[in-house]
Structure 1
Amino acid sequence: MLVNKQNVTDLFTSLKTSFNNAFAAAPSTWQKIAMKVTSTTGQNDYAWLSNFPKMRKWIGEKTVKALEAFKYVVRNDDFEATVEVDRNDIEDDNLGIYGPQAEAAGASSKQLPDEIIADVVNGAFATKCYDGQYYFDDDHPVKKEDGTPGSVSNKGTMQLSAISQQAAINSLGAAETAMMEFKDDEGRPLNITPNILMVPPALKSVANTLMTADRLDDGKANPFKGSYEVFVNPRLKSRTAWYLLDTTKPVKPFIYQERKAPVPVAQTDPQSDDVFNRKKFKFGAEARAAGGYGFWQLAFGSTGTDPAPTA
């Protein structure tokens, strides 16, 4: 094939089509646990998470919720996936190897939010959220009903267990109870209703047993059957950690912040320096995005490092 601008442009149009088709067809799961926030600058400030207004009885003057002195900024990162096309392959009509690469770039671009949110979850035991504490922590600062300072935990250490009814209650049940008892700074329940049990592949069978079995391993009735949707996330790094989430609210436990959605880009000028010096054209995708943490009250994470008591 003659290497000229038109032929190269036609080639990259074909690669773009392969990219777009793969992008559209690729599965993505981040929406299960995260909300999308559009970003218009290099970073977003989520200080508003520190005090979210809730309807109350109007007696006298309105109560204005002031933002606490927390500052939680999520900065956008740059992402790219690039494929080099050798000029000799164009001359020799040896182009079949590039279609699959364009498709792989398209699928990877579609799943970029999945990767970002997985990184956020994997770091949640050691990364700070809007209140200055780790997202999963033993002592998130809160105000008690009488206005005095207190602390609340959304972190556990118990293994997810179906060995016995008591072990299940001490692991999954303890997480469920803790979340449903979270209150606002006026002492009113936040109406947290966990609906997703997220686990790594190593805990898939345990989670499915807890959600489907009539009886647990000790022969006693399973109090958690059908309680939650099991979300097996293969991108989770820990084989023991598990997470109970409430994704029923407008604000989700995790944030996918998008500055620029993945878009295909190409360098098609035969006179460019890369083509002149290295015989390489380029095709790929670029994006700007980041991940962060929403309300910690919507999630409970357990490291799964301690056996759940069976009695």
Structure 2
Amino acid sequence: MIINASVLSALFVAYKAEFQNAQAATPTDWKRIATPVPSSSASNTYGWLGQFPTFREWIGDRVLKNMAAHGYSITNKKFESSVGVPRDAIEDDEIGVYKPLFAEMGRASSAHPDELVFALLKAGLTTTCYDGQYFFDTDHPVYPSTDASGTAVSVSNYQDGTGPAWYLLDVSRALKPIIFQNRRNYDLKAMTAMDDESVFMRDEYRYGVDARVNVGFGFWQFAYCSKAPLTAENYGLARAAMKNFRADGGRPLGINPGLLVVPSQLEGAARKILVKDADNGNEWAGTAEVLAPAWLG
């Protein structure tokens, strides 16, 4: 095959089609527990986290609340995946050999948010959220007043234990427990100019995918972690704790824990709790869905 600009352009179109087709066909779970948020700068600051809106009867003037501002920020990170295709392979018409590689790059670009989101969920016991506490902790401060004044009461969204962690989440709100921040989307690019240094020095064409993204935590009140055995009793305790979460000022939050996220070794136990048995004797059946992503192990 004669190598020229038109051949290289057609080759890139073919590779990009493989990339995009695989990208679109890859199943993902991250949007079940994370809210995508666009970013237009190096980082986003979520100063409104912790400020749950509330209503009062309108008598007289409006009451403007001085909410506590939090300096929780998510800084975008750059990620890349790149490959080189030897010029000899193109000259020898071995283009088809590399198509699966670009399809795998497309799959990896769709799966990467899953990796980030579920890795952060697993790290919730050692990673802080907007209130300065670990996302899963036993002493989140909740104040008696909506302006975060007075003496805070410690509230827990964690049950200690020695087993693998499982998570009960409220994913019914506009903001889910985790934020996926996107500054630049995953895209395939090429360096194939005939006068490119890599082509001249190494006789190689380069292709790469890059993105600028990152993940962070939303409201801790929308999540509960337990390392105790996954039993009907402990599941019930987790639901009760979440439904009792309140905003500053004591207002109930109306939490609806509807997703039970478990590692693969707990999927069977989760389904026994949440799926009706033959005698319809399972008291918690249908109260939540089960999600067992491969990224939790």
- The Cα RMSD (Å) is 2.2
* Selected match of 2:151 from 143, 148, 166: 148
Tell me the SS of whatever aligns to 1:124.
helix
**Bigger RCO of structures 1 and 2 (CA < 8 A, at least 6 apart):** 1
Match of 1:250 in 2: 174
The answer to which of 55-64 and 288-297 deviates more is 55-64
How many residues of Structure 1 are paired with residues of Structure 2 in the alignment? 231
**One-letter code aligned to 2:131:** D
**One-letter code aligned to 1:10:** A
Alignment pair present for 1:293 and 2:296: no
Tell me the SS of whatever aligns to 2:124.
coil
**TM-score computed with the length of structure 2 as normaliser:** 0.73
Q: Check conservation: 2:192, 2:199, Cα contact below 8 A.
A: no
| Structure 1 residue 103: Cα displacement | 0.2
Match of 1:107 in 2: 107
Match of 2:122 in 1: 122
Specify every segment of 5 or more residues in structure 2 that has no aligned partner in the other structure, as ranges: 235-297
Percent identity, aligned pairs only, is 40
- Superposed, which structure 2 residues align to 1:231-246 within 5 Å? 240-246=164-170
Specify every segment of 5 or more residues in structure 1 that has no aligned partner in the other structure, as ranges: 160-238
Distance (Å, rounded) in 2 between the aligned partners of 1:53 and 1:306: 34
Q: Check conservation: 1:158, 1:307, Cα contact below 8 A.
A: no
Distance 1:72 1:271, change over 3 A: same
Match of 2:68 in 1: 68
Distance (Å, rounded) in 2 between the aligned partners of 1:111 and 1:61: 51
Give the 4+ runs in structure 1 shifted more than 2 A.
56-67, 144-148, 303-310
| Structure 1 residue 69: Cα displacement | 4.3
Q: Check conservation: 2:48, 2:69, Cα contact below 8 A.
A: no
**TM-score computed with the length of structure 1 as normaliser:** 0.69
| Structure 1 residue 28: Cα displacement | 1.0
Q: Check conservation: 2:157, 2:225, Cα contact below 8 A.
A: yes
Distance (Å, rounded) in 2 between the aligned partners of 1:306 and 1:14: 48
Match of 1:86 in 2: 86
Q: Check conservation: 1:80, 1:287, Cα contact below 8 A.
A: yes
| Structure 1 residue 45: Cα displacement | 0.3
**One-letter code aligned to 1:115:** E
Cα deviation 1:140-191 (Å, max 9, x = unaligned):
11113695321111111247xxxxxxxxxxxxxxxxxxxxxxxxxxxxxxxx
| Structure 1 residue 307: Cα displacement | 9.9
**One-letter code aligned to 2:102:** A
| Structure 1 residue 39: Cα displacement | 0.6
Match of 2:206 in 1: 282
| Structure 1 residue 50: Cα displacement | 2.4
Tell me the SS of whatever aligns to 1:283.
strand
| Structure 1 residue 308: Cα displacement | 10
